[in-house]
């Protein structure tokens, strides 16, 4: 029941004033990053890219397209398909080309060794070592006496292509005019055989080591695959029809052929096959790499001219590319296509590292923001260290050290000079002399052909 007396607006306002709640300021809302902003999309894209690529770099392997890969892959594909005649033929031809590669590669190394140990000795070429290294500081430096017994000077340093000719001319003049030997020594100065640049030689040796690193990494990848796959025969060949549409429709949409539906992957291999591949493929590959790296380093260490050093540092890497050359030029298109179609192999931790496909964008963005804001940790500091570069430096040091240890000696002044040069008894030179000279040295005359002159 309503009161007959109407209340004024002021009275109503006063009456309700005591019941009116205090007005609170609006709470600040955290709506997160603007997903449509350019900054957000750039950070998200970088996070996805680096996560995927780092996972592939660490845990994804792909065998090189070469005769070595063909000798490993083709028998497993033929086995998986039940040994059909056409695949068996391709497998046998892969082994034939593997033998051709071993023969060609070995012949190149054999002839390089014969040039160094036999023909250079007949030419009277002593080992270069550090002759002329300090020619700009002579006299008074550690490497100031040359193979002819005189002091180096910048104007008296010559490469081997020039120095023997100059020595021959001087000695011929002495034979023709024995009564004028003093004048000939004064006017017909042959100079000394030595380096044009010691540091250019070191740089070219390091560059050569870089060029042969890819072959070493290929051997390491093969070893990782053998260690990762199970010791049981698994199928390497598959045929996958699309499940999202009819096969013919999917082929029409993507322009596929039946070959695109065939899958080739690295899978399990029985232990006997692993042992066979290690003995027939991996160990000979590593051995040839070692001999080639050593022979190339010795060849460069024996090169004195700057221009020859730079050219030879690149040209010598051709020897380790013989397997890829044979595969590209002589093996059939079918074999090359199979090698190229083989999927990359993912190691055990790949699925754990490559989780970008399953992670929500929001979580990946948050993870990236945390990485941006926090301080550097030990793993990231370790990633700053270039492992391959360090390995190149270590290998260069090892191969050049092997050259000095095998061919050089330290003289009284502290310089590294050539050991005495012996004259071979003949041109006979077998495989053991070439590949294991320390255990099977060539026969030489008792009297050395050249001995470092005393200072």
Structural domain includes residue 445: yes
Provide the domain limits for residue 144.
57-159+194-228+273-336+401-455
The model's pLDDT over 356-403, given as tens digits with 9 standing for 90+, comes to 777 888 888 888 888 888 888 887 788 888 888 999 999 999 999 999
Rounded CA separation 63/344 (Å): 8
Q: Which residue has the higher pLDDT, 3 or 142?
A: 142
- 419 backbone φψ class: left, alpha, beta (φ>0; ψ -120 to 50): beta
- Give the pLDDT band (50/70/90) at residue 455: low
The model's pLDDT over 162-206, given as tens digits with 9 standing for 90+, comes to 898 999 999 899 999 989 888 888 888 898 999 999 999 999 999
- Give the pLDDT band (50/70/90) at residue 16: very low
Top-ranked range on mean pLDDT: pick from 5-14, 32-41, 255-264: 255-264
pLDDT in the model for residue 6: 46
Angle between helices 283-301 and 306-315 (to 10 degrees): 170
What average pLDDT does this structure show over 143-151? Answer: 87
Rounded CA separation 229/222 (Å): 11
193 close to 131: Cβ distance less than 8 angstroms = yes
Count other C-beta atoms under 10 Å from residue 170's C-beta: 18
- Tell the burial category of 364 from Cβ atoms under 10 Å away from its Cβ (0-12, 13-18, 19+): middle
Structural domain includes residue 325: yes
The model's pLDDT over 33-90, given as tens digits with 9 standing for 90+, comes to 777 788 888 988 888 888 888 888 888 888 888 999 999 999 999 999 999 999 999 9
H or E stretch covering 366: helix 361-373
Query: CB under 8 Å to 401, separation ≥6 — which residues?
Result: none
What percentage of the chain reaches a pLDDT higher than 90?
A: 39
The model's pLDDT over 306-330, given as tens digits with 9 standing for 90+, comes to 989 998 888 888 888 888 888 889 9
At residue 161, does pLDDT exceed 60? yes
Mean pLDDT of the chain: 86
Provide φ and ψ at 29, rounded to 5°: -105, 130
pLDDT in the model for residue 2: 42
Structural domain includes residue 366: no
What average pLDDT does this structure show over 247-255? Answer: 84
Q: Which residue has the higher pLDDT, 439 or 98?
A: 98
What average pLDDT does this structure show over 431-437? Answer: 88
Angle between helices 322-329 and 67-80 (to 10 degrees): 50
Structural domain includes residue 385: no
Structural domain includes residue 432: yes
Structural domain includes residue 358: no
Count other C-beta atoms under 10 Å from residue 269's C-beta: 23
pTM: 0.82
In three-state secondary structure terms, 345 is strand
Rounded CA separation 14/17 (Å): 5
At residue 5, does pLDDT exceed 60? no
Structural domain includes residue 164: no
The model's pLDDT over 345-362, given as tens digits with 9 standing for 90+, comes to 888 777 666 677 778 888
At residue 134, does pLDDT exceed 50? yes
**Spatial CA neighbour of 120 closest among 80, 160, 89, 159:** 160
pLDDT in the model for residue 31: 61
The count of domains in the chain is 1
pLDDT in the model for residue 32: 67
The model's pLDDT over 276-315, given as tens digits with 9 standing for 90+, comes to 999 999 999 999 999 999 999 999 999 999 989 998 888 8
The model's pLDDT over 233-242, given as tens digits with 9 standing for 90+, comes to 999 999 888 8
pLDDT in the model for residue 169: 92
Distance between first and last Cα of the chain: 135
């Amino acid at each position: 029941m309503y009161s007959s007396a109407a209340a004024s607006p002021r009275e109503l306002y006063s009456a309700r004033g005591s019941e009116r709640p205090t007005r609170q300021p609006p709470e600040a809302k955290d709506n997160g990053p603007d997903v449509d902003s350019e900054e957000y999309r750039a950070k998200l894209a970088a996070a996805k890219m680096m996560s995927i690529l780092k996972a592939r770099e660490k845990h994804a392997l792909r065998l090189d397209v070469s005769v070595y890969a063909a000798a490993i892959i083709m028998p497993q594909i033929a086995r998986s398909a039940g040994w059909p005649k056409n695949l068996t033929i391709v497998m046998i031809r892969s082994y034939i080309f593997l033998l051709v590669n071993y023969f060609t590669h070995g012949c190149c190394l054999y002839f390089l060794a014969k040039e160094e140990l036999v023909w250079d000795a007949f030419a009277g070429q002593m080992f270069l070592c550090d002759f002329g290294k300090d020619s700009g500081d002579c006299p008074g430096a550690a490497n100031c006496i040359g193979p002819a017994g005189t002091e180096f000077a910048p104007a008296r340093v010559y490469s081997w292509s020039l120095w023997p000719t100059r020595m021959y001319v001087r000695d011929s003049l002495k034979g023709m005019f024995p009564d004028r030997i003093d004048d000939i020594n004064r006017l017909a100065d042959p100079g000394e055989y030595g380096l044009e640049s010691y540091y250019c030689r070191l740089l070219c040796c390091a560059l050569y080591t870089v060029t042969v690193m890819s072959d070493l990494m290929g051997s390491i990848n093969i070893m990782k695959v053998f260690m990762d796959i199970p010791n049981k025969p698994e199928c390497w060949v598959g045929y996958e029809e699309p499940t999202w549409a009819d096969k013919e429709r999917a082929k029409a949409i993507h322009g596929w052929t039946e070959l695109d539906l065939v899958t080739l992957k690295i899978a399990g291999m029985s232990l006997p096959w692993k042992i066979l591949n290690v003995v027939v493929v991996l160990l000979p590959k590593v051995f040839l790499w070692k001999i080639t790296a050593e022979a190339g380093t010795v060849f460069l260490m024996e090169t004195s001219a700057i221009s020859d050093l730079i050219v030879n540092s690149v040209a010598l890497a051709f020897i380790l590319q013989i397997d890829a050359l044979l595969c590209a030029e002589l093996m059939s298109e079918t074999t090359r296509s199979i090698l190229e179609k083989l999927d990359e192999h993912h190691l055990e931790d790949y699925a754990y590292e490559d989780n970008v496909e399953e992670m929500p964008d929001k979580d990946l963005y948050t993870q990236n923001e945390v990485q941006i804001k926090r301080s550097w940790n030990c793993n990231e500091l370790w990633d700053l260290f270039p492992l391959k570069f360090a390995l190149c430096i270590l290998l260069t040091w090892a191969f050049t050290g092997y050259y000095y240890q095998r061919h050089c000696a330290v003289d009284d002044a502290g310089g590294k000079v050539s050991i005495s040069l012996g004259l071979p008894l003949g041109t006979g030179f077998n495989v053991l002399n070439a590949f294991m000279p320390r255990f099977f040295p060539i026969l030489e005359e008792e009297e050395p052909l050249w001995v470092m002159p005393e200072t």
